[in-house]
Chain A
Amino acid sequence: MATVSQPAESPLVLEGVTLTQVTSTVAGVVERRTPRAWWFAFAFTGSLTLVLLAMLTYLVTTGIGVWGNNSPVGWAFDITNFVFWIGIGHAGTLISAILYLFRQRWRTSINRFAEAMTLFAVACAAIFPAFHVGRPWRAYWLFPIPNEWSGMWPNFRSPLIWDVFAVSTYGTVSFLFWYLGLIPDLATMRDRAQTHARRVIYGLLSLGWRGSARHWNHYEMAYLLLAGLSTPLVLSVHSIVSFDFAVSLLPGWHATIFPPYFVAGAIFSGFAMVVTLMVIARWFFGLHHLVTMKHLENMNKVMLATGLIVGYAYAVEFFIAWYSGNPFERFAFVNRALGPYSWAYWTMVACNVLAPQLFWFRRFRTSVPVMFVVSLLVNVGMWFERFVIIVTSLHRDFLPAAWGMFRPTWVDLLTLAGSFGLFLTLFLLFVRFLPMISMSEVKAMMASREGA
């Protein structure tokens, strides 16, 4: 039996693990009886999902006014949540596509997990603009399909419509990438199935995959192509999301730094979410020999690096506001740091700039409790970053007569909480029914190291 010899340092798969142990560990999670704790978690997140459904139903039946959005703060929690969730997704694509192209083999144990996170995050994100349009039953007007106003088309000169294309392409391609990666593993699930129902379901989903060398040849090319296509795609998505702001003329939004700043922030928040969820899943399902400290440490390093980029962007925004000599621009930033929402601004700085500095030290980088707390803080901080950008820029723009304040309503807060419920519910279903680590890729990595 193929065993893996002891690697030099910080192993990606612990020594002595055989190929078939990879299969039984990963597939075993799905095949075992549902753990009791899973049901408790599912009951909780499922209830939160119901809260989301209730809030959206209330919104649709009553009107958009149940949210705290007003004039001048026409974008508030909805767009904050949208940008937040889209950003979370970016780590998944970064891990699955960019690290693949760079031949970073440590991605192998975590890419499936992170890709699933991408999909669920995009699903949560899509809810907010769809309901923010006010009449979600007409959300299809966003797409260039003929509607009841014959001859009326979307305005392609608006970044908001670019966003529709970017996000829907991103969601679709992420699904294709994820599913492509799943096919060989679904075949494994089919071949291990003990019940007829499982054999039929996994059999259908695996599309009859049989692992032929000719198939692998096309498969690997398709995988490489998708990685190559997803790489510019993921960079484009948050760039285009940032255009929603940067293309406007509002002080605080109208900045050329936005695309790289948003992309770095997206990767930052996404990695934080992967760490949060992976730490839990690794402990709960006993995946320590496949998701090693090396993986977690690498993710923490990415968080440190992107956190520094984000901190740099905060500083540059202030510098440019001062250097521009534009009084409105200067005011927008002074107001951000010292105005009525300064608590949100400093929460953001503390969580995003200060907290990750702990990761300079190996001791903290490799401590599960520390990384768990820091990843949670970064998640909070990145949500506040979007809140700060959106709300502080809108609430005091040019004429003081047109200023206002935004306060979230209970519907705003429960909708946000509910979106976490949906995200986590989808995640629980994923870890229950699908192999959360790519078995075929881990095995290929082990085999290639052995041969080397």
Chain B
Amino acid sequence: MSQSTERIGGIYGVAAEFEDAEELLAAVRALRERGYRKLDVLSPFPVHGLAEALGIRRSPLGWAALVAGVTGASAAFLLQWWTGAVSYPLVVGGKPFFAVEPSVPVAFELAVLLASFAAVLGMLALNGLPRFHHPVFAHPRYPAVTDDRFVLVVENDGERFDAVQASEALRATGGEHIQVLEAE
């Protein structure tokens, strides 16, 4: 049953294909019950209920956007105050050099701009993208993952990982095209 120890380090995990989402969710739950904690699923669209089944926590991106948004608005107020009242005070139409009300549109726009960048760049950073090579691309059924199939990966957790056991667990839950993925 056991793999030779030198190979275990070189294994990324074991992956199997599933045809539909229900079957996949059942498989994820069954594997987690058997003690597999490091699981991942590749899917063509976000599967409802999968994040909970995998034990994935809510994304913290909202906080990143909030911080960026507050930064953007503050920077805009500061910019408008400094350029209008300090660096280049010029009387235009008798208006005050700086006032909060006319500064709101620019502050709002910069808040939205920075928060949007934080959301998108934060998403890429948290996901480790761009990354053009990954062990799962070696799975023979990988290309179908962006079409209509699901691939469930039991990842090597570096502890008591046994590729043969994991393969059998995947087979027991209905997975097909079970394949051991080499680490890069």
Tell me if A209 counts as interface (CB < 8 A to partner B): yes
Given contacts A187-B146, A216-B46, contact A153 B105 (CB under 8 A): no
Q: Which residues of A contact B20 (CB under 8 A)?
A: 2
Tell me how many residues of A have a C-beta within 8 Å of chain B.
68
**Chain A, range 195-233, C-beta contacts under 8 Å to B:** 203-204, 207-222, 225-226, 229-230, 232-233
* Docked-complex contact B44 and A443, CB < 8 angstroms: yes
How far in angstroms is the closest Cβ of chain B from A150? 10
* Docked-complex contact A213 and B132, CB < 8 angstroms: no
* Docked-complex contact B143 and A218, CB < 8 angstroms: no
Given contacts A161-B106, A192-B147, contact A221 B134 (CB under 8 A): no
Q: Which residues of B contact A214 (CB under 8 A)?
A: 40, 54, 56, 127
Q: Which residues of A contact B113 (CB under 8 A)?
A: 169, 172-173
Q: Which residues of A contact B45 (CB under 8 A)?
A: 184, 216, 440-441, 443-444, 447
Binary interface encoding of chain B residues 88-118 relative to chain A, with 1 for a CB under 8 A from any of its CBs, else 0 = 1010110100000011011011101101110
Tell me if A152 counts as interface (CB < 8 A to partner B): yes
* Docked-complex contact B146 and A1, CB < 8 angstroms: no
Binary interface encoding of chain A residues 150-189 relative to chain B, with 1 for a CB under 8 A from any of its CBs, else 0 = 0111111111011001100100110011011000100110
Q: Which residues of A contact B137 (CB under 8 A)?
A: 210
* Docked-complex contact B59 and A217, CB < 8 angstroms: yes
Tell me if B131 counts as interface (CB < 8 A to partner A): yes
* Docked-complex contact B47 and A225, CB < 8 angstroms: no
Number of A-B contacts (CB under 8 A): 208
Partner of A176, one of B93, B106, B120, B133: B120
The closest CB in chain A to the CB of B116 belongs to A173
* Docked-complex contact A226 and B120, CB < 8 angstroms: yes
Complex Cα gap A448–B102 (Å):
46
Tell me if B26 counts as interface (CB < 8 A to partner A): no
Q: Which residues of A contact B103 (CB under 8 A)?
A: 156
How far in angstroms is the closest Cβ of chain A from B86? 10
Q: Which residues of A contact B109 (CB under 8 A)?
A: 162, 165-166, 169, 233, 236
How far in angstroms is the closest Cβ of chain A from B124? 7
* Docked-complex contact A207 and B129, CB < 8 angstroms: yes
Chain B residues in the interface with A (C-beta under 8 A) = 19-22, 40-48, 50-51, 54, 56, 58-59, 61-62, 65, 69, 79-80, 83-84, 87-88, 90, 92-93, 95, 102-103, 105-106, 108-110, 112-113, 115-117, 119-120, 122-124, 126-127, 129-134, 136-137, 142-148
